[in-house]
């Protein structure tokens, strides 16, 4: 109820909550009429007085979101966007087989069907697609396991850990090695360390306390050197340290 599939890839979280409430306002009365036609409401109280349990739950959730998630949301969002871009590239390059090859250890593509296999499952289970198809939903704050709604009347949603969540909370927290600082300079070495997890120019400028234009200049040098790569995700450009950059950071 609180973690429904978003209607679009880049919808703002606040707008998503408003749309979720509006959807319930439209759908809930119709569902009630279909299930219990003999029990039609006789009162005509204002809609806000007839709020369902989901509305009441959203009230305490909002301050939690503002205090615990909102300060870190740019970094979390960058990881999710980078995962979506990577999965789309895998699908375009090799179809469903390549897409699911490294999506999650429990997911396997066989003979045109998606199956759940592994130690957590007694036997292989086929994932049934809903009438609206299959939707992949990366998760940065959640369980490391795959979550699939088995029965659905619309779309089957597959929730899985996003690629890169392992470095989400450690990127930028380590001090670059002295040799890396002497080679690149302190600011560029700090950028290379921070980009263990994907980020935009604005996010990096805010985290490092420098101007976006200065960050752009340093990123251009790092990208031309093959230490940083970039790719567009919607309206944003995400930067991330390459394998060459990681090997440089690994040197003492």
DSSP for the chain, written as a single string: --SPPPSSTT--HHHHHHHHHHHHHHHHHHHHHHH-TT--------GGGG--HHHHHHHHHHHHIIIIIGGGHHHHHHHHHHHHHHHHHHHHHHHHHHHTTTT-TTEEEETTEEEE-STTSSS-EEPPPBTTBEEEEEESSS-SS-EE-S--SS-EEEEEEPTTGGGTTTTTTSPPPHHHHHHH-HHHHHHHHHTTS-B-HHHHHHHHTS-HHHHHHHHHHHHHTTSEEEEEETTEEEEEE-HHHHHHHH--
193 pLDDT above the threshold of 60: yes
Residue 166 is predicted with a pLDDT of 77
Residue 73's nearest CA partner among 140, 143, 19 is 140
Question: Which has the minimum average pLDDT: 62-66, 73-77, 147-151, 186-190?
Answer: 147-151
Which CATH number is 170-250 given? 1.10.10.10
> What pLDDT does 38 receive?
52
The tens digit of pLDDT for each residue in 111-160 reads 888 888 877 776 668 888 777 888 899 998 888 899 887 666 678 889 99
Query: Residue 50's pLDDT band (boundaries 50, 70, 90)?
Result: very low
Per-residue confidence (pLDDT) for residue 44, from 0 to 100:
45
What's the whole-number mean pLDDT along residues 208-227? 91
pLDDT of residue 244: 94
Question: What percent of the chain clears pLDDT 90, i.e. is strictly above it?
Answer: 23
pTM over 0.85: no
| Per-residue pLDDT at 156 | 86
pLDDT at 3: 55
Determine whether 85 is exposed, middle or buried from the number of CB atoms within 10 Å of its CB (0-12, 13-18, 19+): middle
pLDDT value of residue 49: 43
Q: Can you tell me the distance from the alpha carbon of 93 to that of 78, in angstroms, rounded to the nearest whole number?
A: 23
Which pLDDT value is given to residue 100? Answer: 93
Whether the per-residue pLDDT at 225 is higher than 90: the answer is yes
pLDDT of residue 220: 94
> Has residue 1 got a pLDDT over 90?
no
Which pLDDT belongs to residue 235?
Answer: 80
249 burial (CB, 10 Å; 0-12 / 13-18 / 19+) is middle
Instruction: Provide the pLDDT for residue 101.
Output: 92
Distance CA 155, CA 132 (A): 5
94 in Cβ contact with 80 (< 8 Å): no
Residues counted in the chain = 252
pLDDT digits (tens, 9 = 90+) for 134-147: 889 999 888 889 98
Q: With 60 as the cut, is the pLDDT of residue 34 above it? A: no
- The mean pLDDT value for 190-219 works out to 89
Instruction: Measure Cα distances from 228 to 48, 75, 169, 218 in Å.
Output: 51, 17, 19, 10
What pLDDT, on a 0 to 100 scale, did the predictor assign at position 7? 61
């Amino acid at each position: 109820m609180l973690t429904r599939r978003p209607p679009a890839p880049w919808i703002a979280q606040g707008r998503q909550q408003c749309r979720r409430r509006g959807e319930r306002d439209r759908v809930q009365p119709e569902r009630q009429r279909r299930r219990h036609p003999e029990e039609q409401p006789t009162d005509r109280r204002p809609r806000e007085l007839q709020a369902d349990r989901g509305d009441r739950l959203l009230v305490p959730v909002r301050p939690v979101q503002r205090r615990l998630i909102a300060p870190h949301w740019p970094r979390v969002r960058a990881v999710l966007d980078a995962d979506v871009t990577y999965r789309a590239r895998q699908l375009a390059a090799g179809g469903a087989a390549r897409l699911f090859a490294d999506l999650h250890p429990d997911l396997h593509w066989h003979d045109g069907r998606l199956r759940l296999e592994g130690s957590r499952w007694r036997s292989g289970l086929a994932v049934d697609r809903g009438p609206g198809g299959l939707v992949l939903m990366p998760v940065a704050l959640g369980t490391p396991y795959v979550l699939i709604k088995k029965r659905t009347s619309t779309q089957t949603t597959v929730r899985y850990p996003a690629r890169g969540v392992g470095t989400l909370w450690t990127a930028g927290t380590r001090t670059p090695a002295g040799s890396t600082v002497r080679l690149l300079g302190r600011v560029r070495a700090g950028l290379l360390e921070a980009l263990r997890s994907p980020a935009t120019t604005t996010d990096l400028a805010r985290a490092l306390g420098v101007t976006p234009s200065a960050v752009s200049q340093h990123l251009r040098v790092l990208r031309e050197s093959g230490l940083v790569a970039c790719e567009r995700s919607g309206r944003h450009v995400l930067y991330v340290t390459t394998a060459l950059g990681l090997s440089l950071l690994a040197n003492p």
